[in-house]
Structure 1
Amino acid sequence: MVTLNEISQLLYGAGDESPGWQDSEEELISLAAKTFPGKAFCVVRQWILIDLTVNPDEQEKLSGLCLLPATLFAHEVVLDSRNRFQPGMWVRSNFGISSSAYMFETKRTVYLLLGAGQRKAASLAAAFSMKAC
């Protein structure tokens, strides 16, 4: 069972600082369009790249599905290309399939990491306990 303390630490506790994209939002969107043509994107701020702590069986399952043991949480959506999320909302991604310093890709979306963020470790249960109502 996930505790309130685990969730609080994940959302607001200390993590490893990550710089993210420091130039303009438009330049980041343009880079994403060239790198992932036609793929939905979501520009986010105040983001947390979550490295999931998984056991060997879970790791094997994820690897077999070509998924990373990672997800992304962002406190603020800036822009969603398909209007699934409104500006100012929070968002948590599904498992990643690729990741770079400025982008976190899932099967359906590329999350564009605007400004500084954090990298933290968390359990599967803690990371995926956050759901929109």
Structure 2
Amino acid sequence: MVTLNEISQLLYGAGEEMPGWQGTQDELIALAANAFPGNAFCVVKQWILIDLTVTPAEKEKLTGLGLLSATLFAHEVVLDSRNRFQPTMWVRSNFGVSSSAYMFETKKTVYLLLGPGLRKEASVGAAFSMKAG
């Protein structure tokens, strides 16, 4: 069972500081459009890259499905290309399929990491306990 303390630490506790994109939002969108033409994108701020603590068997299963043992949480959506999320909403992604210094890709969306964020570890239960609505 996931505790309130676990979720609180994930959302508001300390983590490894990550720089994210330091240029303009438009420059970041242009980079994403070039790297992932036609894909949906979501520009986010105050983000947390979550490395999921999984067993070796779980990691093997995820790898076999082409997934990373990682997800992304952002306290603030800046812009969503398909208007699924409104500005200032929070968002949590599904499992990632690729990750770089400024982008976190899932099967359906490329999250663009604007400005500084954090990298943390959490259980699958804690990371996926956050659900909208």
Structure 2 spans left out of the alignment, 5+ residues: none
Shift of 1:56: 1.2
Runs ≥4 residues deviating over 4 A: none
Shift of 1:60: 1.1
For the residue of structure 1 that corresponds to 2:58, the secondary structure is helix
| Cα distance per residue 1:87-112 (max 9 Å; x no partner) | 00000000000000000000000000
Between the aligned partners of 1:63 and 1:115, the Cα distance in structure 2 is 29
The equivalent residue for 2:24 is: 24
Give aligned-pair identity as a percent: 80
**Alpha carbon RMSD of aligned pairs, Å?**
0.3
Shift of 1:73: 0.0
The equivalent residue for 1:73 is: 73
Matches within 5 A, 1:6-45: 6-45=6-45
Matches within 5 A, 1:81-120: 81-120=81-120
Between the aligned partners of 1:61 and 1:74, the Cα distance in structure 2 is 26
Structure 1 spans left out of the alignment, 5+ residues: none
Between the aligned partners of 2:102 and 2:44, the Cα distance in structure 1 is 10
